[in-house]
Structure formats: C-alpha cells, structure tokens
Amino acid sequence: MNKHGCYMGDNIKEIIDFSYNINICGIKDGLDKYLLSKISSITRYPEIDGLSAKNAICDFYGIDKKNCIMGNGAVELLYLFARVVNFKKVLIINPTFTEYERAFKILGTEIIWGNLKYEDNFELNICKFKELIYSDEIEGVIICNPNNPTGKYIDEENLVKMQTIANNKGIYFILDESFIEFAMDEVPKRKFKGEKWFILRSLTKYYAVPGLRVGYAIGSETIIKKLLKHKEPWSLNTFAIEAIPFLLENREFYKKGNNQIIKNREYLLSKLRKLTNWHCFDSETNFILCKINENADKVIEYLFKNKIVVRTCDDFKGLDQSFIRLAIKDLDSINILLQVLKNYYI
C-alpha cells in the first residue's frame, strides 16, 4: 500500500504539508455541532446501503438512482469494480493514481501501461488514445480526469469521443472524476453510450473530508446491479451518511475555497516558473506537477529541513525522483515555500 495520504504523526502541527491535495477551505462552521447532534445514532446500525446519502447525491448531481452506488470513498468502489469485472488485461493511462494498479494486480489482472510522455506534457489526445486501446486485447481502459498527479484535464468533447471509441471496441471505459469539481463548477450529468462505462467520484477532495470516507460511482444499470450484489454491507458509517446533505447544502463554501485555489495556483505557477531548473505543468485542479531538473533530492531534503513536505513522485509509473507534486495551499504557506526556495537558490 502506498505510504502517502498525509498522516505524519506527532509533528503534524510544525509542518507545512504540500503533499496532500484537499480543498483549502477547512471545516465548515457548524459541521462539528451538526455531527455531534447525531451521536445517539451510533448505537444503531447505519442504513445498510447508505440509501439516504445516495438520494441526496443523486438529487444534487442529477443522477438517476439506478445508475449510482455509494462507497467508503471512491477507492472502495474501485476495488469492488475490479473484483466484479475480473479482467484479464486492463489499460491504465499513466502516470496516474497508483491504486488502479494495485486494485487490479492483486486479482491477477495484467496491467498494460499507456505511457504518456514528458515531451508531450503528459497530454492524452484522441489519436494517442486510439493507438493505445488498439495496441492490445484489453477489456477496459482507466483514465483519471483531471489526472493525479499531472493535473491534466480532458475536455468534454474529447472525453465523449474517447468513450465512443472504447464502446465501439466493446471495452469498459473507466473514468475517475475524484477531482472534477476543482475543474468545473457544474459537474456534468453523465450518461455514456452502451453498458460498459463506470465513473468514480469522491467527496474527499472538494469537500475536504478524507477522514469521513465518502465516494460514489455512476455506471450503466447493468454494472451498478452487479456491484450492488457483491458489495459489503454498511460500508458508509453513520457520520458519513449524515454529513452528506450538510456538505451539499454548503457547496458555496467549498466553491469559495476552490476560487481561492485557482488564484493561488496561478500565482504559485508564475513564481515557480522563474526558477531556471524547474518545469511546472499547467493544471486544472488543486495541485501542480513540477520537474526539478537539477539535484531534486537536495531540494526536497532542504524543504523538509525547513519543515515543508512535498509529494515525491517516484512511485508513479512513468515519473522518477526529479518530479514533485505540490498541493495548492493558502497564500501564507505558498509564500513561505517561495521564500525557502529563494534561500536555497541564493
């Protein structure tokens, strides 16, 4: 299992952590009291399938209930999907989120890598997509959009074209949209062609609740029915179920956080691009990928000595130790990072 995910023991208060990528808005006022008011419910089992949470999600995002399943984070649904479809071969477009590989590999699925190149800015276009999905006898293709860790975003038109190409080949189109709300205010009401499509979504990042574990997936009726048959009961706990309507009702608060992230991201990019040995990629989400072309290890170590943690990227297939991912944080933290880097390069 990968070591990242931001828990850093007792030193956490002293450290500025650019490694974990959640909305900078913090906890919405009143969420603590609201959840405490639900405390008496923990003496009973929660709903077996998180039905009221699913209703709230479907109403808010305009999803047909037959096309939706709730999970203990998007990751639970990824592992469930991998178990249920039991592919012989799957194509993962990389560099990308490391859990896709693990979820399929532990079942014996062969991973075919769709290596995107640094020279192409790690961008995926229709031509490259076609070439990749026809290169092997795969049963499904996984795309993360916006992609972790590159921050690259495929627009609606191209995404729909890619799904059509996958559908024509008769393979599953698996899309992870866990960061989609950072890239667009109005989340698309998805309904793709055919039976073989599956989309992961997460409340973890945008609503800043990694500890609650709330995710959902949208898919064809056929796949959702199969997943519901195989799913463990009670995977959403009482607080997760209760929090969902509260989080959705307060979406403006989270949107404000994201508006600030967008400003801070462009500010950080403009400053980092002045460093001669750094190459920083454009991003449509709440983190940026940077390549440090000289002595990356030394820079990372220097930052750490100055109590700044970044996400190293050598565990992402297709990247190496010269890449780092920086979450977009508040302006004060960004300015401290910039000052420390300035001191390093003096």
Ligand X SMILES: Cc1ncc(COP(=O)(O)O)c(C=O)c1O
Residues that bind ligand X (CB under 6 A): 73-75, 97, 144, 148, 176, 178, 202, 204, 210, 215
Nearest to ligand X of 50, 215 (CB atom): 215
Neighbours of 212 (CB within 10 A): 22
Closest approach, Cβ 237 to ligand X, in A, equals 14
In sequence order, what DSSP letters do the residues of 229-278 get, joined into one string? HHPPTT-S-HHHHHHHHHHHHTHHHHHHHHHHHHHHHHHHHHHHTTSTTE
Closest approach, Cβ 46 to ligand X, in A, equals 18
Nearest to ligand X of 109, 286 (CB atom): 286
Closest approach, Cβ 190 to ligand X, in A, equals 16
Nearest to ligand X of 8, 338 (CB atom): 8
Distance of alpha carbon 48 from alpha carbon 51, whole angstroms: 8
Closest approach, Cβ 205 to ligand X, in A, equals 7
Closest approach, Cβ 4 to ligand X, in A, equals 8
In sequence order, what DSSP letters do the residues of 161-220 get, joined into one string? HHHHHHHHHT-EEEEE-TTHHHH-SS------SSS-EEEEEESTTTTT-TTT--EEEEE-
Structure tokens at 270: 């403009």
Q: Using CB positions, name the residue nearest to ligand X.
A: 73
Nearest to ligand X of 76, 242 (CB atom): 76
Nearest to ligand X of 204, 333 (CB atom): 204
